Amino acid sequence: MFSTVVLGGGWAGLVYALELRRRFLSTDVLVIDKSTQLGGLLRSEAVNGFTFDVGGSHVIFSGNKEILSRMLGFLGNGFVKHERKSFIRIGDALVPYPLENGLYALPLEDRADALIAFLEVQMNRAVDWRPSNLDEWIHGFFGKWIAKKYLVPYNRKIWKRDLREIDVDWVYTPGRLPIPDWRDVVKSAMGIATVGYREQATFYYPSIGGIQTLYSSALREAESLGIALLSGYAIKSLKKVGDEWIINDEIKAKNIISSIPLNELVTYMNAPEYVIKLSKRLDYNRVLVIGVALNKPAPDQHWVYVPNEDVIFHRYAWISNYSPQNAPRDKSSLLLEITISPWETVKEDWFVNKALRDLMNLGIAGEGDVLFTMYWLHEYGYPVHTIESNRARNEVINWVKEQGITPIGRWGCWRYWNMDKVYEDATNKVVQRFR
């Protein structure tokens, strides 16, 4: 019998096991993953000299210095540091991200309109006003110009839900979308460049091997600490008999930590009908990631947000600029990201062809530039924080915890968390467990 079994060996499962063993070397830990290729969303693939991050554009950043230094610690000296060069496509213009700090790149009239609308809401907002959904948050903090040109179409595109149904809890999470400082917005409208969303203004990336090198380096440490790993083994049932957990009628454990999708976990636990019903309300989007190898150098950009409704992808990233090792000399590579709701039929070829046409229509690549394309579809890409989903999540998590299981990670906790937040939460849960 294992003292601890961690379900799911993506980033969350791996860092939980690591932090547990780093602190309590005598505790035995087994990490189980259904895939034979470990890494979850942090996998990378090398093809013909190009390295693609198959879970989409992943960079390392954090407002939490301790967590950032622990993540970089896995890489030793093997990382590249970048000052973010990301943009939002407004019409044909590329405006530095975030938009409210990049207004200086717009024509004078647009700057004035954006600033007036922005200041209008700052002056009229009551001090204790709280938005009750994403639509209100956007209009209430940014004003109608930025809402109309960017935040509403972009968020509709990525979430594929009515923005009035989406909660605002995730926009207040430190490290995610910040509320703009009006002084910076005025400066940027006057033509002075300012920096917003500072946590991500500097980011890091593994020198070789794509983002998977971060995962693999942590995995090496896990193996050296004696953490047991079982890959290619899907969890299908989880029973409690006395004080013991039994996984798939085969593996026994005293403690279970789960990073597998919460909606699936409760079905494997044979949860009561009301919990299963609630779990069906946990909302999410899939993500289709398209890798494009190009026979030309990349412009001086990292990634670009595309709110344009007629373009199928919401973001494209020049990952050949993340590390020179990601593409051969004088060539470049792009990742395009498309979210797909769970009820939409996925026609991968249609999506890929449309994405390529859009790339060409936007003038990002010409037909003769494309060497080859690849794509990867992930069933679980983005948890969608609808108000209803959040409510269900809290109840389902309470039930899971009552059974004695600790949920961790983006899907175990059903939260729109990046690697740093996943790491921080997993560490806190290790610490709490032995307090």
Distance in Å, CB of 383 to ligand FAD, minimum: 10
Contact 406, 258 (CB under 8 A): yes
337 binds ligand FAD (CB under 6 A): yes
Rounded Cα gap, residues 381 and 254, in angstroms: 31
Residue closer to ligand FAD by CB (options 32, 72) is: 32
Cβ closest to ligand FAD, residue 189 vs residue 426 = 426
Residue 294 is encoded by which pair of tokens?
Answer: 């190009």
Nearer to ligand FAD, 34 or 144 (CB): 34
323 binds ligand FAD (CB under 6 A): no
CB 42, min distance to ligand FAD, A: 5
Q: Return d(Cα 371, Cα 376) in angstroms, integer.
A: 18
What is the nearest approach in angstroms of ligand FAD to the Cβ of residue 360? 23
Angle between helices 108-124 and 182-190 (to 10 degrees): 160
Q: Per CB under 6 A, does 98 bind ligand FAD?
A: no
Q: Which amino acid is at 229?
A: L
Alpha-carbon span 13 to 39, nearest angstrom:
10
Which are the contacts of 26, defined by CB distance < 8 A and separation ≥ 6?
none
Nearest-approach distance from CB 420 to ligand FAD, in angstroms: 6
Q: Which is nearer to ligand FAD, 40 or 140 (CB)?
A: 40
**Helix, strand, coil distribution of the chain in percent, nearest 5:** 40, 25, 35
- Helix ranges (DSSP H) in 318-418: 348-361, 387-402, 409-412
Q: If binding is defined by CB under 6 A, does position 288 make contact with ligand FAD?
A: no
Residues 255-274 that bind ligand FAD (CB under 6 A): 259-260, 264
Instruction: Say how many C-beta atoms besides its own lie within 10 A of residue 357's C-beta.
Output: 13
Distance of alpha carbon 30 from alpha carbon 32, whole angstroms: 6
Q: Which helix (H) or strand (E) holds 47?
A: strand 44-47
**Nearest approach, Cβ of 424 to ligand FAD (angstroms)?**
11
Judge whether 314 and 305 are in contact, CB under 8 Å. yes
- Nearest approach, Cβ of 70 to ligand FAD (angstroms)? 13
Measured from the CB atom, the residue of 192 and 346 that comes closer to ligand FAD is 346
CA distance 296 to 176: 33
Applying CB under 6 A, which part among 72-80, 104-112, 378-386, 395-403 lies near ligand FAD?
A: 378-386
| Residue span 52-91 as binding mask against ligand FAD, x where in contact by CB under 6 A, dash where not | ---xxxxx--------------------------------
First CA to last CA across the chain, in angstroms?
A: 23
Q: Binders of ligand FAD among 404-423, rule CB under 6 A?
A: 409-411, 417-420, 422
Tell how far CA 155 is from the center of its chain: 14
Binds ligand FAD by CB under 6 A, chosen from 137, 150, 305, 380: 380
Give whichever of 181 and 379 is closer to ligand FAD, judged by the CB atom.
379
State the minimum distance, in angstroms, from the CB of residue 125 to ligand FAD.
Answer: 31
Closer CB to ligand FAD, 56 or 102, in the complex: 56
Interaction mask 384-403, ligand FAD, x per CB under 6 A? --------------------
Shortest approach of ligand FAD to residue 206 CB, angstroms? 12
Nearer to ligand FAD, 27 or 35 (CB): 35
Sign of the Cα torsion 396, 427, 28, 215 reads positive
102 binds ligand FAD (CB under 6 A): no
Residues 289-308 that bind ligand FAD (CB under 6 A): none
Residues 348-377 that bind ligand FAD (CB under 6 A): none
Binding piece for ligand FAD, criterion CB under 6 A, among 11-19, 23-31, 85-93, 173-181: 11-19
- Cβ-proximal residues to 343 (8 Å cutoff; 6+ apart), any chain: none
Q: Is 175 in the site for ligand FAD (CB under 6 A)?
A: no
Could you say whether residue 42 binds ligand FAD (CB under 6 A)?
yes
Number of H helices and number of E strands within the chain?
A: 13, 18
Q: Which is nearer to ligand FAD, 168 or 247 (CB)?
A: 247
Spell out a b/e string for 167-177, using b for 16 or more CB atoms within 10 Å of the CB, else e: bbebbeeebbb
Residues comprising the chain, all counted: 435
d(C-alpha 62, C-alpha 69), whole Å? 9
At residue 379, the 3 state secondary structure works out as: strand
Which residue ranges make up the site for ligand FAD (CB under 6 A)?
Answer: 7-13, 32-35, 40-42, 55-59, 234-235, 259-260, 264, 287, 337, 380-382, 409-411, 417-420, 422
